[in-house]
């Protein structure tokens, strides 16, 4: 079953797709605190392998129930393999190894460049037209994230060790940006659900292979119920539902506008840490969060032009 092309949603209105992306950002935001708790018991590689395996099975099952077809065109197989390796395997491995060498502050700031890479890739590959309002929104959003991160009082680190982690971490926005932009043409052929399910299943296989030593030595009986529940939340909501929501956004409102919701994740992550982990939230962080919301409003206002293929 191929995806039908949806009518573009009016860019001046906050739509159901925007609400879905806000919910996605909220889930991804609190997912940081959830994962932090789960990794007390799980090794990172084992955690990733189990949650992506679970998410793949969930999505493939739902895809079969909804479309009764798990197949893709033979000519697209190589393309799907490429997307799976970039958006799932490479992204996750770079993230896990990068964060182990650098600070959370450095990695948060680097990952906040994701919308910038998506806009650059979209323009370079002519996937969609980038308007001045989108560029302004991306700049304002990044400025808001900088305020949120620096407002935490945690310093940036530029030691020799952090540079290694920084270089590994910067591969994350590059991978996610290219995965998002390169996937856009496939949404003309396949539904967001099928695109997500198949590429995730493909990308999960190498994650399992890399994690095999960790899986074999993991002390499964010592893992608490809370950690298993955290893994289930991450697999069902953050990965399964979150990834599909992302591609519904890409399909309906375009890559660049959807990209701005990536930085909303940081806002919710800080807010959830404030509520769940009793971390402080400063005035400058609140102003930064406001800028992120303003950037979303700017990008969704109608400037008289429809983005190409949005």
Residue 138 sits at φ, ψ, to 5 deg, of -65, -45
pLDDT digits (tens, 9 = 90+) for 54-90: 999 999 999 999 999 999 999 999 999 999 999 999 9
Q: What is the DSSP letter of 15?
A: -
Q: What are phi and psi of 205, to 5 degrees?
A: -55, -50
Cα 275 vs. chain centroid, distance in angstroms? 22
What Rg value do the Cα atoms of the chain yield, rounded? 19
Band of residue 292 on the pLDDT scale cut at 50, 70, 90: confident
In order of 208, 234, 269, the CA distances from 36 in angstroms are 21, 11, 12
Residue 100 tokens read as 């182990």
Whether the pTM exceeds 0.85: the reply is: no
Across the range 189-201, mean pLDDT stands at 96
Token pair recorded at residue 258 = 């959807």
pLDDT above 70 (res 109)? yes
Mean pLDDT, the chain, as a whole number?
85
Cα–Cα dist 280/288, whole Å: 15
Q: CA-CA distances (angstroms) from residue 177 to 82, 83, 121?
A: 14, 11, 7
Kindly state the tokens that stand for 144: 């808001």
Of the candidates 100, 92, 82, the residue with the CA atom closest to the CA atom of residue 52: 92
Tokens of 1: 């079953």
∠ CA 204-236-23, rounded to 5°: 120
Listed in sequence order, the residues at least 6 apart from 160 whose beta carbon sits closer than 8 Å to its beta carbon are none
């Amino acid at each position: 079953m191929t995806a039908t092309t949806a009518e573009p949603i009016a860019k001046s209105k906050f739509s159901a797709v925007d609400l879905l992306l806000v919910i996605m950002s909220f889930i991804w935001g609190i997912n940081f605190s959830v994962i932090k708790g789960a990794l007390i018991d799980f090794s990172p590689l084992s955690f990733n392998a189990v949650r992506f395996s679970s998410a793949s099975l969930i999505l493939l099952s739902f895809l079969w129930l909804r479309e009764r077809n798990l197949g893709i065109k033979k000519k697209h197989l190589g393309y799907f393999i490429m997307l799976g390796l970039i958006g799932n395997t490479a992204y996750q491995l770079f993230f896990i190894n990068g964060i182990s060498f650098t600070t959370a502050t450095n990695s948060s700031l680097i990952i906040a460049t994701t919308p910038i890479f998506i806009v650059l890739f979209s323009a370079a590959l002519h996937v969609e037209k980038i308007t001045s309002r989108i560029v302004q929104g991306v700049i304002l959003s990044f400025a808001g994230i900088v305020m949120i991160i620096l407002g935490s009082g945690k310093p940036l680190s530029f030691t020799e060790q952090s540079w290694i982690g920084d270089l590994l971490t910067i591969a994350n926005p590059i991978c996610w940006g290219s995965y998002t932009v390169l996937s856009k043409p496939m949404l003309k052929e396949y539904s967001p659900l099928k695109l997500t399910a198949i590429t995730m299943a493909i990308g999960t296989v190498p994650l399992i292979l890399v994690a095999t030593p960790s899986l074999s030595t993991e002390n499964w009986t010592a893992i608490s119920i809370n950690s298993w529940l955290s893994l289930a939340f991450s697999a069902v909501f953050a990965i399964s539902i979150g990834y599909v929501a992302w591609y519904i956004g890409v399909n309906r409102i375009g890559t660049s506008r959807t990209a701005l919701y990536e930085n909303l994740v940081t806002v919710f992550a800080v807010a959830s840490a404030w509520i769940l982990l009793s971390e402080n939230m400063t005035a400058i962080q609140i102003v930064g969060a406001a800028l992120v919301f303003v950037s979303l409003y700017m990008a969704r206002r109608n400037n008289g032009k429809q983005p190409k293929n949005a």
